[in-house]
Each structure stands twice: as structure tokens, then as C-alpha cells.
Homo-oligomer: A and B are copies of this chain.
Amino acid sequence: MEDTLSAFSLTTLGTMGIVSLIAATTNAFNGALLARRPDHYKHFTVIGVILLGYAGGIGGGVIRDILVNKVPSPLVNPWYLVFCFVAAGLAVVLDYNSTQRFKDGVFQFMTAFTLPWYAIVGAQTAVDTKLGYFAAVIIGVLATTGGRFIIDVACNVIPKQLVRGEYWVLTAAMTAGLYLFLADGLGWSQVIATAVAFVFGFGFRLLAQYFGWEEWEPWEPAPSKAGEKTRETLGTGLKDEFDPTGGGAKV
């Protein structure tokens, strides 16, 4: 077997490879913990929890690399799969030995800690692919939040991106933007830019969690008489609309 793309070597990863590996490992831990949380739990087997750990761990990285048209690095470098497996296993052990309150605290802290990594490496990957800054921020957000999207959809929960979540998506976007400004705009080294962007993203997220900052949720939509199931045909609708006698009364 030739094995030119993959190798059990950590030294060839480079800064972004190491950041990506941290992102995957910590997100796998979170993913497995989330799978066992009562609002997500749906009688998952141990294999199911591990799979959801993988979804959380490498999901964002796989989405990122598919978008920039590369073979996903979590499949190229086997350490991703090993580290994610260990992290998901650790989460199961922690889940067994802790109170729900402690686990909720660990989970909140870890979601803050894990957030910046994928945002940074996603943004850098987009720049490496010669994409613009807008796309780089979008890819940073998708890499950061894509794994959680897969978990939420699989667990039949409304994805956290779309509901109140202490500026989760915005923090990812700002972290990616800050990194781009420092590394690509000001020309700082990747290591320094990563460190500053990490401290910002982690800190902002912790503050948002501490003070309970939430995204704005607009007014409730009025209940509709017409869902897609029960709606009238366009024909009936138009007839009502232009009929001065009977149509208006129905509204």
C-alpha cells in the first residue's frame, strides 16, 4: 500500500494543521457530551454517541475542505480520527461520573474554548484558496458551526445557529474577521494572529455567556390561516383578491 497523502506524523501539520486538530478534538468532546444531554438524547447507543462526537469533531473541517474543493484533511491525517475517538470516549466517561450541573458547566466552558479554532483555520483555508474576505468569514462560520448543525438535525433539535445562543454565530464571524485582519491585512505571523483571535473569541464568548447576551428575536409572526397544506390555489386567492363583494370578508 502506498500512503502518500496520509501519515502518522504530527510534525508536518504546520500551525493551521495543529489548530485544526485542536478544533476537531475539542469539538468531538463537546459533540459526545451534547449527544448525552437530555434535550438531545434520543436513546443513542455507544456507537451513536461516538458517531455524533465524530460529526461534531470533524464535521466542520470536512465541510470547510469540501467547500474549498480539497480532500478533507480529517480524512487525510489519521490523528484526527484517533484524537476525536479518544475525546468522545472521555466525554462518555465524564458523563457517567458527573452531575448534570457540572456537565452543563463544562459544556458551556468548552463551547467557548472550542469556538475560535475552526473560525481561524476556516478563514485561513479560504484565503489559501484565493477566496475573498466575505467568503473567508462565511467558511469560518460554517467550519465552526457545521458540526453542531449535523448533530442538531440528527437529534431532531432546531439548529443552534438559528435560535438564541449568546452570539455564537456572530462570535465565530468576528473571530474569523479579526484573524483575517491581523494575518492577511496587517501581515502578522499566523501564530500571533491565531493567539490574539483566540483570546478575543474565547473572551467574548465567555462574556456573552456570563452576562447572558442574546441575539435579537423579532416579533412573533401572526398565525396564518394558510399553511402550505391548507392553502387555497392561486386561482381562488386571486379571485378573492379582485372580488369586491365576497373576497374581503374571508380574510
Contacts and interface: CB of A to CB of B under 8 A. Distances in A.
Given A51-B169, A68-B71, A45 B101 contact: no
Contacts of A129: 5, 71
A99 B251 CA distance: 10
Contacts of A36: 218, 221
Nearest to A54: B138
A219 B96 contact: yes
A218 B92 contact: yes
Interface residues of A, number: 104
Given A92-B218, A108-B234, A251-B101, A2 B139 contact: no
Interface string A1-15: 111111100000000
Interface of A: 1-7, 35-39, 41-49, 51-52, 54, 62, 66-72, 75-76, 78, 81-82, 92, 95-96, 99-101, 104-105, 108, 126-127, 129-135, 138-139, 149, 153-156, 158-165, 169-170, 184-185, 206, 209-212, 214-229, 231, 233-238, 241, 251
